[in-house]
Chain A
Amino acid sequence: MLKKVGGKGERNSAEVAIRDAAFPAPFASGLEYNAPARGPWNIVQTGMLIPQSHQIFACARGCLRGVVLTAAEMNAMDRMSWISVCENDLFDGSLEQNVIDGTTDILRKMETRPPAVLLFISCIHLFNGCDFGMILSELRRRFPDVDFADCYMNPTMRKSGLTPDQLMRRQLYSLLRPARMDGKWINLIGNDRATDESSELVSMIRGAGFGIRDITRCRTYEEYLKMAESAVSITYLPAAVAAGEELERRLGQRHLYLPLSYSEEEIMENYGKLADALGIRAPDLSAAAAGAEKALGDARRVVGDAPVEIDYTSTPRPLGLARLLLEHGFAVRRIYADVFSGEEKSDFVWLQRNAPELAVSATVHPKMRFARRRAQGEKTLAVGQKAAYFSGTGHFVNIVAGGGMYGFDGIARLAGRMTDAFLHEKDTKTVIQLKGLGCESCL
Chain B
Amino acid sequence: MIHTARILPTYAADTSGVCSALYELGGMTVIHDASGCNSTYTTHDEPRWYDRESMVYISALTEAEAVMGDDDKLIDDIANAAAELSPRFIAVCGAPIPMMVGTDFQAIAAAVEAKTGVPAFGLHTNGMRSYLAGASEALETVAKRFCRRDAARSKELSANIVGATPLDFSVNGSVESIRRWLVDSGFRVISCMAMGSGLDEISLAGGAHVNLVVSYSGLAAAKALRERFGTPYVAGVPVGAGFARTLAAALASAAENGENAAPCARRRNGARGGLAVVGESVFAGSLARAVEAETGRPVRVLCPLETEDALTAEGDAAIPDEDDAAREFAAAAGVIADPLYRPVCPDGVPFYGLPHQAFSGRCYQKSVPNLINRNLRLWKTI
In the complex, the answer to whether B362 meets A443 with C-beta atoms within 8 Å is: yes
A378 contacts partner chain B, Cβ-Cβ < 8 Å: no
- Contacting A at CB under 8 A, from B47-72, are 49-50, 53-55, 57-64, 66
How far is B95's CA from A63's CA once the two chains are assembled, in angstroms? 9
Chain A, residues 76-93, CB within 8 Å of chain B (1/0): the string is 011011111111001000
A375 contacts partner chain B, Cβ-Cβ < 8 Å: no
- Of B37-45, B183-191, B250-258, which stretch is located at the interface? B37-45
Among A80, A105, A433, which residue has its beta carbon within 8 angstroms of that of B4? A105
In the complex, the answer to whether A158 meets B62 with C-beta atoms within 8 Å is: yes
- Of A29-37, A173-181, A198-206, A305-313, which stretch is located at the interface? A29-37
Among B7, B16, B85, B97, which residue has its beta carbon within 8 angstroms of that of A65? B16
Given contacts A31-B58, A62-B95, A443-B363, contact A127 B16 (CB under 8 A): no
- List the A residue with the shortest CB-CB distance to B35: A155
How far is B127's CA from A82's CA once the two chains are assembled, in angstroms? 15
How far is B34's CA from A30's CA once the two chains are assembled, in angstroms? 12
Closest-CB distance, B303 to chain A (whole angstroms):
16
Residues of B within 8 A of A333 (CB): none
In the complex, the answer to whether B62 meets A160 with C-beta atoms within 8 Å is: yes
Given contacts A69-B9, A435-B43, contact A62 B127 (CB under 8 A): yes
In the complex, the answer to whether B9 meets A65 with C-beta atoms within 8 Å is: yes
- Contacting B at CB under 8 A, from A152-169, are 153, 155-160
A22 contacts partner chain B, Cβ-Cβ < 8 Å: no
B130 contacts partner chain A, Cβ-Cβ < 8 Å: yes
B216 contacts partner chain A, Cβ-Cβ < 8 Å: no
Residues of A within 8 A of B362 (CB): 69, 73, 443
- Of B75-83, B149-157, B270-278, which stretch is located at the interface? B75-83
Residues of B within 8 A of A128 (CB): 100
Closest-CB distance, A198 to chain B (whole angstroms):
34
In the complex, the answer to whether A124 meets B50 with C-beta atoms within 8 Å is: no
Residues of B within 8 A of A60 (CB): 13, 95-96, 126-128
- Contacting A at CB under 8 A, from B72-105, are 77-78, 80-81, 84-85, 95-97, 99-101
- Contacting A at CB under 8 A, from B319-341, are 340
In the complex, the answer to whether A68 meets B10 with C-beta atoms within 8 Å is: yes
Residues of A within 8 A of B34 (CB): 123, 155-156, 158
B360 contacts partner chain A, Cβ-Cβ < 8 Å: yes
How far is B142's CA from A26's CA once the two chains are assembled, in angstroms? 38
How far is B4's CA from A83's CA once the two chains are assembled, in angstroms? 4
Residues of B within 8 A of A30 (CB): 60, 77, 80-81
Residues of A within 8 A of B1 (CB): 86
Residues of A within 8 A of B5 (CB): 81-82, 84
Given contacts A90-B100, A156-B61, contact A366 B84 (CB under 8 A): yes
How far is B99's CA from A156's CA once the two chains are assembled, in angstroms? 13
Residues of B within 8 A of A105 (CB): 2, 4
In the complex, the answer to whether B63 meets A61 with C-beta atoms within 8 Å is: no
- Contacting A at CB under 8 A, from B156-175, are none
Interface size on B, residues (CB 8 A): 64
Residues of A within 8 A of B2 (CB): 83, 98, 101-102, 105
Residues of B within 8 A of A77 (CB): 7, 9, 340, 343
Given contacts A36-B50, A86-B128, A105-B2, contact A65 B61 (CB under 8 A): no
Q: Which of A32, A85, A90 has the most CB of B within 10 A?
A: A32
In the complex, the answer to whether B13 meets A12 with C-beta atoms within 8 Å is: no
A109 contacts partner chain B, Cβ-Cβ < 8 Å: yes
B380 contacts partner chain A, Cβ-Cβ < 8 Å: no
Residues of A within 8 A of B100 (CB): 90, 124, 127-128
Residues of A within 8 A of B35 (CB): 32, 155, 158
B30 contacts partner chain A, Cβ-Cβ < 8 Å: yes
Chain A, residues 32-61, CB within 8 Å of chain B (1/0): the string is 111010100000000000000000000111
Given contacts A65-B16, A84-B10, A370-B53, contact A31 B60 (CB under 8 A): yes
- List the A residue with the shortest CB-CB distance to B130: A61
Among A68, A90, A366, which residue has its beta carbon within 8 angstroms of that of B81? A366
B11 contacts partner chain A, Cβ-Cβ < 8 Å: yes
B20 contacts partner chain A, Cβ-Cβ < 8 Å: no
- List the B residue with the shortest CB-CB distance to A91: B100
- List the A residue with the shortest CB-CB distance to B128: A60
A72 contacts partner chain B, Cβ-Cβ < 8 Å: yes
In the complex, the answer to whether A72 meets B77 with C-beta atoms within 8 Å is: no
- List the A residue with the shortest CB-CB distance to B126: A87
Closest-CB distance, B369 to chain A (whole angstroms):
18
How far is B14's CA from A132's CA once the two chains are assembled, in angstroms? 28
In the complex, the answer to whether A110 meets B363 with C-beta atoms within 8 Å is: no
- List the B residue with the shortest CB-CB distance to A370: B53
Chain B, residues 327-367, CB within 8 Å of chain A (1/0): the string is 00000000000001001000000000000000011110000
In the complex, the answer to whether A65 meets B45 with C-beta atoms within 8 Å is: yes
Residues of B within 8 A of A64 (CB): 10
B219 contacts partner chain A, Cβ-Cβ < 8 Å: no
- List the A residue with the shortest CB-CB distance to B54: A369
Residues of A within 8 A of B44 (CB): 65-66, 69
Residues of A within 8 A of B128 (CB): 60-62, 84-87
B12 contacts partner chain A, Cβ-Cβ < 8 Å: yes
Q: Report which B residues bind A (CB closer than 8 A).
A: 1-7, 9-16, 30, 34-40, 42-45, 49-50, 53-55, 57-64, 66, 77-78, 80-81, 84-85, 95-97, 99-101, 126-130, 340, 343, 360-363
Beyond A62-B127, A369-B53, A435-B43, list 6 extra A-B contacts (CB 8 Å).
A31-B59, A32-B59, A32-B60, A60-B128, A72-B340, A433-B43
Selected A-B contacts with CB under 8 Å, 11 pairs: A62-B14, A69-B363, A78-B7, A81-B6, A86-B3, A102-B2, A127-B100, A158-B35, A160-B63, A369-B54, A369-B57
